[in-house]
Amino acid sequence: MNNLYWVALCSIWRKEVTRFLRIWVQTLVPPVITMSLYFIIFGSMMGNRIGQMNGVSYMQFIVPGLIMMSVITNAYSNVCSSFFSAKFQHNIEELLVAPVPTHIIILGYVGGGIARGILIGCIVTIVSLFFVSFTVHSWWVILCTLLMTATLFSLAGLLNALFAKTFDDISLIPTFVLTPLTYLGGVFYSLSLLPPVWQLVSTFNPIVYMISGFRYGFLGIYDVSLWMTYLILAIFITLFYAFAWYLIEKGKGLRN
Partner 1 sequence: MSNSALQITDLYKRYPNGVEALKGLNLTVEQGDFYALLGPNGAGKSTSIGIISSLVTKTSGKVTIFGYDLDTQLVHAKRQIGLVPQEFNFNPFETVLQIVVNQAGYYGITRREATHRAEKYLRRLDLWEKRDSRARMLSGGMKRRLMIARALIHEPKLLILDEPTAGVDIELRRSMWDFLRDLNQQGITIILTTHYLEEAEMLCRHIGIINHGELIENTSMRNLLAKMQSETFIFDFIPTDEKPQLTGYNATLVDVGVLEVDVKRNQGLNQLFELFAQQGIKILSMRNKANRLEELFVHLVTDNQGATNE
**Nearest distance, CB of residue 149 and partner 1, angstroms:** 28
103 binds partner 1 (CB under 8 A): no
Q: In terms of CB distance, is 193 or 249 closer to partner 1?
A: 249
**Quick one: which of 1, 49, 140, 196 contacts partner 1 (CB under 8 A)?**
1
φ/ψ of residue 53, rounded to 5: -135, 120
Q: Contact with partner 1 (CB under 8 A): which of 51, 133, 204, 256?
A: 256
b/e per residue 84-108 (b: at least 16 CB within 10 A): bebbbeeebeebeeeebbbebbbbb
| Nearby residues of 233 by Cβ (< 8 Å), 6 or more positions away | 145, 148, 149, 152, 209, 210, 213
Q: Interhelix angle for 139-163 vs 206-219, to 10°?
A: 150
From 99, 140, 175, 197, residue interacting with partner 1 (rule: CB under 8 A): 99
What string marks each residue from 112 to 151 as x (binds partner 1 by CB under 8 A) or -? ----------------------------------------
Rounded to 5 degrees, what angle do the CA atoms 65, 182, 39 make? 40
For residue 57, the SS3 value is strand
Q: Distance between CA 187 and CA 66 in Å, rounded?
A: 6
Q: What's the N-to-C CA distance of the chain in angstroms?
A: 28
Provide the minimum distance between the beta carbon of 253 and partner 1 in the complex, in angstroms, as a whole number: 13
We find the least distance from the C-beta atom of residue 3 to partner 1, in angstroms, to be: 6
177 binds partner 1 (CB under 8 A): no
Residue 38's alpha-carbon distances to 33, 35, 114, in angstroms, are 9, 5, 23
Hey, what amino acid is at 205?
Answer: N
Indicate whether 102 belongs to the interface with partner 1 (CB under 8 A): no
Is position 165 an interface residue for partner 1 (rule: CB under 8 A)?
Answer: no
The whole-angstrom separation of Cα 207 and Cα 69 is 9
User: Using the rule CB under 8 A, which residue among 8, 35, 114, 162 binds partner 1?
Assistant: 8
- Total binding residues toward partner 1, as defined by CB under 8 A: 31
User: What is the contact mask toward partner 1 in residues 52 to 91, using x (rule: CB under 8 A)?
Assistant: ---------------------------------xx--xxx
Q: Which of 37, 41, 98, 122 binds partner 1 (CB under 8 A)?
A: 98
User: 167 phi and psi, to 5 degrees?
Assistant: -65, -25
Does 249 contact partner 1 by CB under 8 A?
no
21 binds partner 1 (CB under 8 A): no
Chain residues in the site for partner 1 (CB under 8 A):
1, 3-5, 7-8, 10-12, 14-15, 18-19, 22, 85-86, 89-91, 93-101, 251, 255-256
